Structure 1
Amino acid sequence: MARRTVEEHAAAIAELLAPALTPTPTVVPLAGARGRVAFTDVRSPVDLPLFRNSQMDGIAVRAADVASVPARLPLRGTVPAGATQPPPLDPGTAVRIMTGAPVPGGADTVVPVEETSTDGTHVVVHRGRGAGEYVREPGSDVTAGEVLVPAGTLLAPRHLAALAAAGLDRVTVRQSPHVAVLTTGDELIEPGTRPSPGQLFDANATALDAACAEAGAQVVVRERTADDPAEFGAALARAVAGADVVLTSGGISQGEFEVVRQVVGPTGGWVGSVAMQPGGPQATAVLDGVPVVCFPGNPVSTQVSFAVFVRPLLRAAAGLPPIRPVPLPLADDVRGMPGKRQFRRGRVDENGRVSIVAGPGSHLVAAMAASDVLVPVDRDLAAGETVEVIPL
């Protein structure tokens, strides 16, 4: 059985997935753009503000008319937000104005309402304001043609608000990689159903679906099959037809009912092992030009394999920032396993030290849930040693 190092397998998967994960653009409505990455610079089609408007509820005046206070001026009506452009303001007069309302021609300042008093026909301004105060000029935020959101921006609500304010209702983003998830095993049943003796709930479908979404990908096919080569082969054909990348779990060890190995092996794919724990059995293939990456079926093995080999590639394709290893000290001694890299599950304490959570077993899903980092262990490590942990 062929065996690779972790680095060799990571490089092989990166090469395998590269053609399928070439970034491509797609246009989406703003309502579906949060968390996506802008593919190109987005330029504003308009000046913002769109027109000269008031920053405050107050009184629009000429600054020269309130240079000496108190100043008593006749009121010439009210300009509400949403009004059309009001007539010009005559010298020596004032007009009530609401926040966001267009400022009349001739008026060059807005006095906040708190700094005035009125008897209904006249207003008394108690504090003078200079020209331009509380008046928003068109283009003072951004001018037409200026970059509003740069390419590569991870779109958050604040970015979408800026696009909407400029009148845009859609944006060009990186296409999310389309992934198919196939889980296998006669023993697997859907969570929420009642298990019979010997049956297990399928955790891997949920884990891979959520992990793909977190990595910026979209799961477009999700199926579970029994350990039947014909059934799995048909599901694999549907997955290849509908996705950029296919991920499978289970069926690649050395037992008698290893359905993925039975179907993928004869296609010329690689079926072997990686010098790691958990996640030793691994396989890859290309079917009709679509890469297939096969993980072992134990739940922790599947999650570790995804985090180590596939998550970085999906995130890069989606334009998301990489999740980089973090150097942290160990809280306790850790014993390694000769010839294999262990990915122990760990938790960072309030002092920034990493404690190992439970044992190395690939079935310990509760321990995985209680962890927030993977701790690569190539040898015996002593408490206090610094290790490069992988955030989960």
Structure 2
Amino acid sequence: MALFHRKKQVEAAEPDVEPLGLPGAPETDMSGRRSIDDHRDYLCSLVQAVPPVAVEVPKAVGLAVCEDVHAPHDVPIVTTAISDGYALDSASTRMAGRPGAITIQVDRRPPSPVVSGTAVRVTAGSLLPEGTDCVIPLELRDAGGDIVLFSAVKRWAGARLAGSDYGAGEVLVRNGTILHPGIISMLASAGINEVFARPHPKVVIVAVRADEDHREEMMRRARANGAEDVAPLDATAAAIESATRALDVNVTVVSTSTSNETELTRLLANAAHGADLVIATSDRIAVGRPDPVSSVLPRMGATDFARVAMEPGSNQGFALIDPGLVPLIVLPVGPGPALVSFLAFVRPLLRKLSGLPPAESLSAETDRPIARHPESTTFIPVRLARVGGRPVLSRAGMGDVTHVVDLSMADAIAVVGAGDEPVPTGMPLTCWRLR
């Protein structure tokens, strides 16, 4: 009898999933690169401003209101004295100077209403007593304790009338206005305790440090050179954290040295939870090896990996992480390249998230010719000065944006467009301020 055996079932390997790209990518040049402006505008088109919420007025400083704020009643709500002085009935002064002075007695125990022909002491901001309609200065009281007037006092002189600032229903603050302490004091005086405003974006910086083996090798070589107790920090993360905090946003920094893709994926997912933007930085330099964050992003959502016509920082990575479509941007390795990409792309993203218009650009004239790259925009650390009333830039140090010493001496980073001829002396260049 023949024996029949079933063939062993072998599970087929799952096919590689094609990474999900983001729609509407801009055109590229002959080398497959985008312009800086096109890449920036594209990233900004992929995010929306943070939704507005109700915020207590004192805590709303620096925020943009998202609706017209109307006065709920007259502002001020009552008539008050502008300064310290004496309140009285202006009608009782109509004969002053016709032909001589009149004397008005100061009533130390004023009745209510105040008797016409007498005055009572008031302080700045206090209510005008009933029976009075003006306030005169303290110095008009003579040595005998009475007030001597040589001319009539106009009605409501020295007083701030109810509704003189705003009437009920008038607009106190327009939609989009950024609140400062003066506006907040006005809102508080109108009895408004909260406004509908856009909160500061919540930013999480994921700093991928060098792994343990790399750090140990650095320490070994440092000790061989005579350095002891060296504790090098992540300069890239420090630069980006400080640049982010300077924009008045909420910042959290998470550090890791893991190379495990599962752990890194979990870390990024946790970072995106509740965040409005995730920034990935790295000081892990590994020639020929892909960036660890970029490697795991395709499985987390739609991605955009692009080459931009700029040096340094030509390789740019961006993703919208599921399920909340939280934007994540991957910055190049090193403080200088990361800072350039931050100013070019992250700062505009944060302004879009904050509901703010693009930042105003600063330009300064060159003090000498500057070489250009024939195909890429380059960046130079510069110092700024005013010469003849005009802003002028000069190279900081050797002008190397990848050199932290040059960055430390700079006020700004100048943007040098591509070209075959050097930038001539006196030509204005766009500058991104560092302070």
TM-score class, shorter-chain normalisation, is 0.7 to 0.9
Match of residue 372, structure 1, among 399, 402, 411: 411
Match of residue 304, structure 2, among 270, 274, 279: 270
Q: Secondary structure at the match of 1:158?
A: helix
Is structure 2 residue 123 aligned with structure 1 residue 98? yes
Question: Quick one: which amino acid aligns to residue 10 of structure 1?
Answer: R
Indicate the residue corresponding to 1:182 in structure 2. Answer: 206
Match of residue 234, structure 1, among 225, 248, 266: 266
Question: Quick one: which amino acid aligns to residue 14 of structure 1?
Answer: C
Indicate the residue corresponding to 2:375 in structure 1. Answer: 339
Of residues 350-359 and 202-211 in structure 1, the stretch that sits farther from structure 2 once superposed is 202-211
CA separation of 1:266 and 1:321: change in aligned 2, threshold 3 A: closer
Q: Quote the Cα distance in structure 1 between the aligned partners of 2:406 and 2:165.
A: 50
Question: Quick one: which amino acid aligns to residue 184 of structure 2?
Answer: L
Q: Quote the Cα distance in structure 2 between the aligned partners of 1:176 and 1:252.
A: 33
Q: Quote the Cα distance in structure 2 between the aligned partners of 1:383 and 1:125.
A: 70
Is structure 2 residue 64 aligned with structure 1 residue 31? no
Q: How far is 1:141 from its partner?
A: 1.3
Q: How far is 1:331 from its partner?
A: 0.7
Match of residue 259, structure 1, among 288, 292, 295: 292
Q: How far is 1:40 from its partner?
A: 1.2
CA separation of 1:272 and 1:141: change in aligned 2, threshold 3 A: closer
Q: Superposition pairs for residues 299-378 of structure 1, below 5 Å?
A: 299-351=335-387, 352-359=391-398, 361-377=400-416, 378=418
Indicate the residue corresponding to 2:194 in structure 1. Answer: 170
Q: TM-score, normalised by structure 1?
A: 0.85
Q: How far is 1:227 from its partner?
A: 4.5
Q: How far is 1:252 from its partner?
A: 9.0
Root mean square deviation, CA, Å:
2.8
CA separation of 1:361 and 1:227: change in aligned 2, threshold 3 A: farther
Q: How far is 1:266 from its partner?
A: 5.4
Is structure 2 residue 176 aligned with structure 1 residue 149? no
Q: Superposition pairs for residues 78-227 of structure 1, below 5 Å?
A: 87-117=112-142, 119=144, 122-125=146-149, 128-186=152-210, 196-197=219-220, 200-219=232-251, 221-227=252-258
C-alpha offsets along residues 225-254 of structure 1, whole Å, 9 cap, x if unaligned? 114134322211111223122111126975
Indicate the residue corresponding to 1:82 in structure 2. Answer: none
Q: How far is 1:298 from its partner?
A: 0.5
Is this contact kept in 1: 2:40–2:348, CA < 8 A?
Answer: no
Indicate the residue corresponding to 1:83 in structure 2. Answer: none
Q: How far is 1:159 from its partner?
A: 0.8
Q: Secondary structure at the match of 1:311?
A: helix
Indicate the residue corresponding to 1:191 in structure 2. Answer: none
CA separation of 1:335 and 1:52: change in aligned 2, threshold 3 A: same
Q: Quote the Cα distance in structure 1 between the aligned partners of 2:76 and 2:120.
A: 21
Indicate the residue corresponding to 2:76 in structure 1. Answer: 49
Q: How far is 1:216 from its partner?
A: 4.7
Q: Quote the Cα distance in structure 1 between the aligned partners of 2:89 and 2:180.
A: 40
Larger Rg: 2
CA separation of 1:240 and 1:56: change in aligned 2, threshold 3 A: closer
Q: Secondary structure at the match of 1:353?
A: strand
Question: Quick one: which amino acid aligns to residue 232 of structure 1?
Answer: L
Q: How far is 1:49 from its partner?
A: 2.0
Question: Quick one: which amino acid aligns to residue 267 of structure 2?
Answer: A
Indicate the residue corresponding to 2:90 in structure 1. Answer: 63
Of residues 130-139 and 372-381 in structure 1, the stretch that sits farther from structure 2 once superposed is 372-381
C-alpha offsets along residues 120-142 of structure 1, whole Å, 9 cap, x if unaligned? 5x544455422221122111111
Is structure 2 residue 103 aligned with structure 1 residue 72? yes
CA separation of 1:270 and 1:123: change in aligned 2, threshold 3 A: closer
Q: Quote the Cα distance in structure 2 between the aligned partners of 1:322 and 1:373.
A: 18
Q: Quote the Cα distance in structure 2 between the aligned partners of 1:273 and 1:53.
A: 65
Q: How far is 1:26 from its partner?
A: 1.3
Indicate the residue corresponding to 1:9 in structure 2. Answer: 39
Q: How far is 1:162 from its partner?
A: 0.8
Percent of aligned pairs sharing the same letter: 29
C-alpha offsets along residues 232-285 of structure 1, whole Å, 9 cap, x if unaligned? 222111112231221111269753363123222555633453221121232122
Indicate the residue corresponding to 1:192 in structure 2. Answer: none
Q: How far is 1:58 from its partner?
A: 1.9
Unpaired runs of 5+ residues, structure 1, are: 80-85, 189-194
CA separation of 1:132 and 1:150: change in aligned 2, threshold 3 A: same
Question: Quick one: which amino acid aligns to residue 409 of structure 2?
Answer: A
CA separation of 1:213 and 1:31: change in aligned 2, threshold 3 A: farther
Question: Quick one: which amino acid aligns to residue 175 of structure 2?
Answer: A
Q: Which has the higher strand share?
A: 1
Q: Secondary structure at the match of 2:114?
A: coil
Unpaired runs of 5+ residues, structure 2, are: 1-30, 213-217, 223-230
Is this contact kept in 1: 2:362–2:432, CA < 8 A?
Answer: yes
Is this contact kept in 2: 1:229–1:262, CA < 8 A?
Answer: no
Question: Quick one: which amino acid aligns to residue 288 of structure 2?
Answer: G
Is this contact kept in 1: 2:382–2:399, CA < 8 A?
Answer: no
Q: How far is 1:317 from its partner?
A: 2.8
CA separation of 1:50 and 1:358: change in aligned 2, threshold 3 A: same
Q: How far is 1:23 from its partner?
A: 4.3
